[in-house]
Amino acid sequence: MTTALDVRGLSAGVDGKQILEGLDLVVPLGQMHALMGPNGSGKSTLCHVLTGKAGYVVSGEALLEGKELLSLEVDERARLGLLQSFQYPTEVPGVALREFLLEAAEERGISEAEARDRIEREAARFDVTRFLDRAINNDLSGGEMKRSEIFQMAVLRPRVALLDEIDSGLDIDAVKQVAQAVEEMRSPDLGVLMITHYNRILRYVTPDRIHVMIGGRIVDSGGAELAEELEAGGYKAIRERLGLVETSSEPARRPADFFTDTPFDV
């Protein structure tokens, strides 16, 4: 089994506040792992640090198929094979999705004919054809944005896909659609790390392994039984079983967190 992503002793802080506390995580090629944790546990920070967002003080290692990522620029990491689906993808005015993907494909040495073909095919598969000639993320609903993010991955074919809060802010129909898209993207050449706060998406996708993150590190890893434990008793049950004390430092909330915190479909 080849390793897609190998994170070792990763620590990260921002503005003097430590968020990741020596995190270890391995995602093999061909597998999909879920990373679950309460708000403030550092899930999104992990994504930002791996993708290369500015502003974090980072130590430790992160390897993509054995190649060190942390010393590289954002775009170099992407070309090496790391892509993130953002929790809040930004709208980019005036830049059409198709044009953008053609440039990104060219930068990877994919021929234009091949790129155009992939765009058409994958757009049909993820039902985003009507967004291709629109500005990136312009006027898209939450679910459409997430499908568009996954579609971009299908075109650019990363080796590691980070799906940050892929189900946040979505109604149940959109969660089902996005879950289907996530299952669709599985490939023997891809390792997927799907990050989620709330376990409802796990009713529609079946990860190979589930990791629970609390306080900046992975506290437990396992199979479907972990999801069941979370479903029954929440993060509180996990904390109690592991003897962890709840920390009081919650990060600033964003409005969409309200939706991720509220189990509408239960």
Partner 1 sequence: MEAAYQVFTSLEEPTGAEEDWRYVELDHTFSELQPVAVPGTELEPGRFVASLPERSGRVLIVDGHVLEHDSAVAGVQRFSDLDDDPGFTGMVPTDHNKLAAAHAAFSTEGARVEVKPNAVMEAPLVVEIQATTAGTVSFPHLQVVVGENAEASVLVDYRSADGARLLLVPRVDLELGNGGRLRFLSVQGLDHAATNVVHQRAVLSRDSTSRIGEIGLGAKLGRLDLGVSLVGDGSSSEVVGLYFGEGDQTLDYRMVIDHQGRSTTSDVFLKGAVEDDAQSVFTGLLRIEKDAARTSTFETNRNLVLSENAKAHSVPNLEILCNDVICGHASSVGPLESDHLYYLMSRGLNRERAERLLIRGFFQQVIDRLPIEGLGEVVSDEVFRRFVAAQEEGRVA
Residues 105-134 that bind partner 1 (CB under 8 A): 107-108
Q: How far is the CB of 55 from partner 1 (least distance, A)?
A: 10
Which one of the spans 32-40, 89-97, 192-200, 234-242 is the region binding partner 1 (CB under 8 A)? 89-97
Judged by DSSP in three states, 78 sits in: helix
User: How many residues contact partner 1, by CB under 8 A?
Assistant: 29
Specify the residue, 95 or 256, whose C-beta has the smaller distance to partner 1.
95
Q: For 172, which DSSP code? A: H
Please answer whether residues 168 and 197 qualify as being in contact, where contact means their C-beta atoms are separated by less than 8 angstroms: yes
CA distances from 138 to 84, 94, 110, 146, 256 (A): 19, 9, 26, 13, 18
Q: Which member of 42, 89, 207, 216 binds partner 1 (CB under 8 A)?
A: 89
**Choice from 41, 84, 87, 177 touching partner 1 (CB under 8 A):** 84
Q: Which two tokens stand for residue 250?
A: 């919650």
Instruction: Give the shortest CB-164-to-partner 1 separation in angstroms.
Output: 11
The reply to whether 74 sits near partner 1 by the rule CB under 8 A is yes
Measure the CA dihedral 48/50/56/59, to 10°.
Answer: 150
Q: According to the binding rule CB under 8 A, does residue 97 interact with partner 1?
A: no
Q: Which stretch binds partner 1 (CB under 8 A): 32-40, 47-55, 121-129, 218-226?
A: 47-55
Q: Is 186 in the site for partner 1 (CB under 8 A)?
A: no
CB 190 within 8 A of CB 161: yes
Degrees to nearest 5, angle at CA 122 with 118 and 127: 150
Instruction: Say if residues 47 and 63 touch (Cβ distance below 8 Å).
Output: no
Count CB atoms within 10 A of the CB of residue 92.
13
> Residue 135, interface with partner 1 (CB under 8 A)?
yes
Segment contacting partner 1 (CB under 8 A): 100-108, 170-178, 191-199, 238-246?
100-108
Give me the residues that bind partner 1 (CB under 8 A), please. Answer: 51-54, 73-75, 78-79, 83-84, 86, 89-90, 92-95, 99-101, 103-104, 107-108, 135-136, 152, 156
